[in-house]
Structure 1
Amino acid sequence: MLRNTISLLSRLSRLSRLSRLRAARHAGVLALGTLAAAGAALAQNYSPELIEKGRYLATASDCIACHTASKAQPMAGGHAISSPVGEIVATNITPSKSHGIGNYSEQQFADALRKGVRADGARLYPAMPYTAFARFTNEDVHALYAYFMEGVAPVDAAPKASTALPFPMNVRASMIGWNLLFADGKPFEPDPAQTPEWNRGAYLAQGAGHCATCHTPRGALMQELASQSLSGAQIGAWWAPDITNSRTHGIGSWSVDDLTRYLATGHLPGKAQAAGPMAEAITHSFSRLHESDLRAISRYILSVSSHQPEDSAQRNRFGFGQATDATAGFRGTSFAEGMKQSGVALGAQVFTANCASCHGASGQGTQDGYYPALFGKSITGEANPSNLIAAILNGVDRETPQGGHVFMPPFGDQVNAMVPLKNEEVAAVSNFLLTSYGNPAVSVTADQVQVIREGGAKSGLILLARIGMALGAVVVLGLVMLATKRRRARLER
Structure 2
Amino acid sequence: MIQRSFFYTVTVCSLAVIALSATHPAKADPLGNPQRGQYLAVASDCVACHTAPHGQPFAGGLAMHTPLGVIYSTNITPSLSAGIGHYSLEDFDKAVRRGVRKDGANLYPAMPYTAYSYLTDQDIADLYAYFQKEVAPVDKKGPVTALPFPMNIRFSMSFWNMLFLNGKPYQADATKSAEWNRGAYLVQGATHCGTCHTHRGFLMQEDLAHPLSGASLGTWYAPNITPDTVSGIGSWSDQDLTEYLRTGRLHGKAQAGGGMGEAVEHSFSRMSSGDLNAISVYLRSLKPVSDPNDHTSSRFQQGHDVSPAVELRGATPIMDHNDDTASGAALFMGNCASCHGASAQGSKDGYYPSLWHNSVTGASRGDNLISTILYGVSRSVEGRQAFMPGFGGKSGDAVQLDDSQIARLSNFVFKTYGRSDVQVTPQDVALIRKGGPASPLLLLSRVGMAAGAILLLVLCAVVFATRRHKARNIV
**TM-score when normalising by structure 1:** 0.87
Residue 353 in structure 1 maps to residue 329 in structure 2:
no
Partner of 1:456: 436
Post-superposition offset of 1:307? 3.3
Instruction: Indicate the residue corresponding to 1:17 in structure 2.
Output: none
Conserved? CA contact 1:339–1:350, under 8 Å? no
In structure 2, the CA distance between the partners of 1:343 and 1:118, relative to structure 1 (3 Å rule), is: farther
Unaligned runs of 5+ in 1: 1-44
Is this contact kept in 2: 1:247–1:310, CA < 8 A? Answer: no
C-alpha contact 1:409 1:417 (8 A) present in aligned 2: no
- The 5 A counterparts of 1:63-78 are 63-71=46-54, 73-78=56-61
Measure, in 1, the Cα distance between the counterparts of 2:280 and 2:323.
44
- Which residue identity is paired with 1:166? P
* Partner Cα distance (1:344, 1:366) in 2: 29
| Deviation for aligned residue 1:417 | 4.7
How many Å apart are 1:240 and its aligned residue? Answer: 0.3
Aligned residue for 2:166, secondary structure, equals coil
Match of 2:374 in 1: 393
Whether the aligned pair in 2 keeps the contact of 1:54 and 1:147 (CA below 8 Å) is yes
Contact 1:227 1:307 (C-alpha < 8 Å) held by counterparts:
no
Residues 1:199 and 2:181 aligned together: yes
1:101 pairs with 81, 84, 88, which one?
Answer: 84
Corresponding residue for 1:468? 448
- 1:35-434 map, 5 Å: 50-71=33-54, 73-159=56-142, 161-308=143-290, 314-331=296-313, 338=319, 346-400=327-381, 402-414=382-394, 417-434=397-414
More helix as a share of residues = 1
| Paired AA for residue 143 in structure 1 | D
Normalised by the size of structure 2, how large is the TM-score? Answer: 0.90
Partner Cα distance (2:295, 2:267) in 1? 37
Please say which of residues 300-309 and 202-211 is displaced more in the overlay: 300-309
Counterpart residue identity of residue 209, structure 1 = T
> Is the alpha carbon distance of 1:461 and 1:294 closer, same or farther for their aligned partners in structure 2, counting shifts above 3 Å?
same
Q: CA deviation at 1:221?
A: 1.1
Aligned position for 1:27: none
SS of 2:327's equivalent?
helix
- Contact preservation (8 Å) 2:231, 2:294: no
| Matching residue's letter, 1:65 | A
Moved more, 243-252 or 179-188: 179-188
- Whole-Å separation in 1 of the counterparts to 2:291 and 2:245: 27
Q: How far apart, CA to CA, are the structure 2 residues paired with 1:276 and 1:339?
A: 32
Question: What do the CA deviations read for 1:229-272 (whole angstroms, capped 9, x no partner)?
Answer: 10100002000000001112110111111100000000001100
Q: What is the CA–CA distance in structure 1 between the aligned matches of 2:193 and 2:409, rounded to whole Å?
A: 31
One-letter amino acid matched to 1:154: P
C-alpha separation in 2, matches of 1:139 and 1:194: 22
Shift of 1:308: 3.2
**Matched residue of 1:379: which SS?**
coil
Change (3 A) 1:393 1:109: same
Sort the Cα spacing of 1:231 and 1:323 in 2 relative to 1 into closer, same or farther, 3 A.
same
Is contact 2:229-2:298 (8 Å) kept?
yes
Aligned match for 1:445, one of 422, 425, 450: 425
- Equivalents in 1 of 2:412, 2:61: separation in Å? 38
The amino acid of 2:193's aligned partner reads C
CA distance in 1, matches of 2:105, 2:295: 52
Amino acid at match of 2:355: L
Tell me whether 86-95 or 298-307 shows the greater mean CA deviation.
Answer: 298-307
Cα 1:427/1:360, change in 2 over 3 Å:
same
| Cα displacement string for residues 13-33 of structure 1 (whole angstroms, at most 9, x for unaligned residues) | xxxxxxxxxxxxxxxxxxxxx
CA contact (8 A) 1:344 1:432 kept: no
Shift of 1:338: 3.1
SS in 2 for 1:470: helix
Question: Deviation digits for residues 20-75 of structure 1, max 9, x if unmatched?
Answer: xxxxxxxxxxxxxxxxxxxxxxxxx998x811100100110101000001555100
Deviation at 1:163, TM superposition (A): 1.1
Name the CA distance, whole Å, in 1 between partners of 2:47 and 2:198: 22
CA shift, 1:341, in A, is 6.7
Question: How many Å separate the matches in 2 of 1:313 and 1:126?
Answer: 35
Q: CA deviation at 1:490?
A: 3.1
Aligned residue identity for 1:387: N
Q: Secondary structure at the residue paired with 2:221?
A: strand
* Identical pairs, percent: 50
| Equivalent residues of 1:365, 1:372 under 8 A apart | yes
Question: CA contact under 8 A between 2:232 and 2:290: conserved in structure 1?
Answer: no
2:272, 2:152 → 1: CA distance? 40
How many angstroms apart in 1 are the aligned matches of 2:186 and 2:299? 27
Counterparts of 1:431 and 1:114 in 2: how far apart (Å)? 44
One-letter code aligned to 2:102: A
In structure 2, distance between residues paired with 1:308 and 1:232: 10
CA distance, structure 1, for counterparts of residue 155 and residue 301 of structure 2: 48
Maintained 8 Å contact 2:75/2:84: yes
Kindly state the Cα deviation for residue 482 of structure 1 after the two structures are TM-superposed.
Answer: 2.1
Name the SS of the counterpart of 1:88 in structure 2: strand
Greater CA radius of gyration, 1 or 2?
1
Offset at 1:214?
A: 0.4
Check conservation: 2:30, 2:125, Cα contact below 8 A. no
| SS class of match (1:228) | coil
Sort the Cα spacing of 1:106 and 1:343 in 2 relative to 1 into closer, same or farther, 3 A: farther
Contact 1:248–1:310, Cα closer than 8 Å, also in 2 = no
Alignment of 1:12-51 (within 5 A): 50-51=33-34
Q: CA deviation at 1:306?
A: 2.5
Partner of 2:25: none
Letter in 2 for 1:286: F
Q: What CA distance in whole angstroms lies between the structure 1 residues aligned with 2:439 and 2:325? A: 32
Change (3 A) 1:391 1:317: same
Q: Is the 8 A contact 1:411 1:417 kept in 2?
A: no
Displacement, 1:279?
Answer: 0.2
Compared CA separation, residues 416 and 366, structure 1 to 2 (3 A): farther
**Superposed CA RMSD:** 2.2
Distance 1:407 1:222 in 2: 33
Letter of the structure 2 residue corresponding to residue 201 of structure 1:
G
Deviates more, 1:170-179 or 1:305-314: 305-314
